[in-house]
A and B are shown apart, each in its own frame.
Chain A
Amino acid sequence: MNVLGIESSCDETSVAVISNGKLLSNLIASQHFHKLYGGVVPELSSRAHLQIIMPLLKQALTESKLELNEVDVVAATAGPGLIGALLVGLSFAKGLAFSLNKKFVAVNHIEGHIFSGFLMEEKPEFPYLCLVVSGGHTLLLIVKSETEIIKLGTTVDDAAGEAFDKAAKLMGLEYPGGPLIQKYARLGNPERFPFPIAKLKNPYDFSFSGLKTALLRFKQKEYGNSKIPEADLPDIAASFQNAIVKALILKAEKALSEFKVNSLSIVGGVAANERLKNEALTLASKFGIKAVIPLPEYCGDNAAMIAYRGMLLAKNNMFNSFEFNAYPSLKKINFSNWKSI
């Protein structure tokens, strides 16, 4: 089975091909990349996706040594995301499947992330604890099977990736903040400044808004309205990163003590954070289970995970009609059997 995956839920446009479970191509054009080639500053979402999606498809097929009519299933992200951006990839995919007389699968972006560990050599084993951490989402889940997902908790305010970006802004660093904080944090002392970890009613929920405010307060107290001196950035970055990673790991640890699982998988853009990765490996070995953290190219938004999820749904005969529409928010996340505890 040859599956074509298309992703355009936010800033990245991506096209991937999976053939009989093997990833043949995964091309990602970030809008930043696009800026270098397009010559104009692209708008967030729709127009940039529209310009790049066709060239990406052609290149992905060439790399995969496949003809367009050899594609069996077309899978595309239907949500959640920016509606204008989603519509480009989804409409393109539907049009393609319709004209080629092929099957179409609408993929939930978060479910794409949840199963992205399967793109690795070493795959998660069911049931597994999954932590989805990205710019827009922070979720703790138990994945029981290909079609059964149990939600333990989520963020009640800011997502983990957003906390990194906003902290970077407060610290006077540029966008994207996550990688810059990680860079400074490598040189800093993570224990120097104790930033708070939120306690919540549901022990599996997350909150990072208070952490942001704590950083702001700290900055005002220490430096008033002036810039944080370069020399202090490493310790602040390390301490802030420590607080985020600790919160994520603590909740994961609690879940591992409570539920019997065979693997721990950390996915989404923030999973590329090396400190989180190291802590996750330590945690998993403490419980004697496998840790699966995808390579960075499968952590950020990408079509490989959409193609993979599309393949799983196709195997389960969960196809969609061409009337299936894009949806912006997480609440309609009900393709698979999602439950809350």
Chain B
Amino acid sequence: MERVVEIKDLDELREFAREFAKRLNDGDCVVLTGDLGSGKTTFVKELCKNFGIENVTSPSFAIINEYENERKIYHLDFYRIKRWEELINIGYFELIQNEEAIKFIEWGDLFSNVLPSKRIELKFEIVEEDKRKITIEEH
């Protein structure tokens, strides 16, 4: 099932993130794809505010960020990963099975072979300026 949403500015992204947050359950995995600057981290940041989490930052360097308030969140980023085997060392395969946390994976499409079969994929596309097209697909 595929759904497409058009977002015209940050306020609309916030609204979309708020609605999206309501539907998330512990254990869910959300994969975010799209170019640099397309809004993946901003989306996670806005979404997590709905769970009382205010300290979301880009995980590109750290690879895994962990947040906890009303929900427990793992915020991952494959941007810097060169081979999927590196994910073994990082503890990815244990983390991804955690049913108590919501997992977000930025740049997940770089290693689609390691993504859980049950996941929600959000594809971010830049239309122009602040406008974004988000395609939502449930696997």
Please tell me if the beta carbons of A157 and B58 are within 8 angstroms of each other in the complex. Answer: yes
Please tell me if the beta carbons of B126 and A216 are within 8 angstroms of each other in the complex. Answer: yes
Question: Contacting B129 at CB < 8 Å: which of A162, A217, A329?
Answer: A217
Bound Cα distance from A236 to B115, whole angstroms: 37
Please tell me if the beta carbons of A329 and B36 are within 8 angstroms of each other in the complex. Answer: no
Contacts A166-B60, A212-B37, A217-B129 hold; do A44 and B65 have CB atoms under 8 A apart?
no
Q: Does A91 contact B (CB under 8 A)?
A: no
Q: Does B3 contact A (CB under 8 A)?
A: no
Q: Does B57 contact A (CB under 8 A)?
A: yes
**Chain A proximity mask over B58-92: 1 for CB below 8 Å, otherwise 0:** 10111111100000000000001111011001110
Contacts of A166 in B (CB 8 A): 36, 60
Please tell me if the beta carbons of B36 and A43 are within 8 angstroms of each other in the complex. Answer: no
Bound Cα distance from A268 to B19, whole angstroms: 39
Please tell me if the beta carbons of A84 and B57 are within 8 angstroms of each other in the complex. Answer: no
Contacts of A170 in B (CB 8 A): 36-37
Contacts of B60 in A (CB 8 A): 158, 162, 166
Interface of B is mostly: loop
**Chain B proximity mask over A182-213: 1 for CB below 8 Å, otherwise 0:** 00000000000000000000000000010011
Q: Does A318 contact B (CB under 8 A)?
A: no
- The smallest beta-carbon distance between A83 and chain B, in angstroms, is 6
Residue of A nearest to B85 (CB): A43
Q: Does A93 contact B (CB under 8 A)?
A: no
- The smallest beta-carbon distance between B103 and chain A, in angstroms, is 15
- The smallest beta-carbon distance between A173 and chain B, in angstroms, is 13
Residue of A nearest to B58 (CB): A158
Question: Contacting A328 at CB < 8 Å: which of B61, B62, B129?
Answer: B62
For chain B, the bracket of interface size reads 20 to 34
Bound Cα distance from A329 to B85, whole angstroms: 22
Q: Does B14 contact A (CB under 8 A)?
A: no
- The smallest beta-carbon distance between B123 and chain A, in angstroms, is 17
Please tell me if the beta carbons of B62 and A44 are within 8 angstroms of each other in the complex. Answer: no
Contacts of A209 in B (CB 8 A): 41-42, 58
- The smallest beta-carbon distance between A87 and chain B, in angstroms, is 9
Q: Does A161 contact B (CB under 8 A)?
A: yes
Bound Cα distance from A82 to B57, whole angstroms: 16
Bound Cα distance from A329 to B129, whole angstroms: 33
Contacts of A41 in B (CB 8 A): 82-83
Q: Does A156 contact B (CB under 8 A)?
A: yes
- The smallest beta-carbon distance between B79 and chain A, in angstroms, is 9
Bound Cα distance from A43 to B83, whole angstroms: 7
Q: Does A127 contact B (CB under 8 A)?
A: no
Within 8 A of B (CB), among A18-66: 41, 43-47
Please tell me if the beta carbons of A157 and B126 are within 8 angstroms of each other in the complex. Answer: no
Please tell me if the beta carbons of A169 and B90 are within 8 angstroms of each other in the complex. Answer: no
Please tell me if the beta carbons of B36 and A80 are within 8 angstroms of each other in the complex. Answer: no
Please tell me if the beta carbons of B86 and A44 are within 8 angstroms of each other in the complex. Answer: yes
Most chain A Cβ neighbours within 10 Å, of B45, B63, B65, B66: B63
Question: Contacting B62 at CB < 8 Å: which of A47, A80, A216, A331?
Answer: A80
Please tell me if the beta carbons of B36 and A212 are within 8 angstroms of each other in the complex. Answer: yes
Contacts of B65 in A (CB 8 A): 329
- The smallest beta-carbon distance between A195 and chain B, in angstroms, is 13
Contacts A43-B83, A155-B57, A216-B36 hold; do A136 and B62 have CB atoms under 8 A apart?
yes
Q: Does A85 contact B (CB under 8 A)?
A: yes
Question: Contacting A84 at CB < 8 Å: which of B35, B61, B89, B126?
Answer: B89
Bound Cα distance from A83 to B58, whole angstroms: 17
- The smallest beta-carbon distance between B93 and chain A, in angstroms, is 12
Please tell me if the beta carbons of A162 and B61 are within 8 angstroms of each other in the complex. Answer: yes
- The smallest beta-carbon distance between A286 and chain B, in angstroms, is 31
Please tell me if the beta carbons of B89 and A85 are within 8 angstroms of each other in the complex. Answer: yes
Please tell me if the beta carbons of A156 and B57 are within 8 angstroms of each other in the complex. Answer: yes
- Give 4 A-B pairs besides A157-B45, A158-B57, A169-B36 with Cβ atoms closer than 8 angstroms: A157-B42, A157-B58, A159-B61, A213-B37
22 contacts between A and B (CB under 8 A): A41-B83, A43-B86, A43-B89, A45-B86, A46-B89, A82-B62, A82-B89, A83-B64, A83-B91, A84-B91, A136-B62, A156-B57, A157-B41, A157-B42, A157-B45, A158-B60, A161-B61, A162-B58, A169-B36, A170-B37, A215-B37, A328-B64
- 7 closest A-B pairs by beta carbon, nearest first, are A84-B89, A136-B61, A216-B37, A46-B89, A213-B37, A158-B58, A44-B86
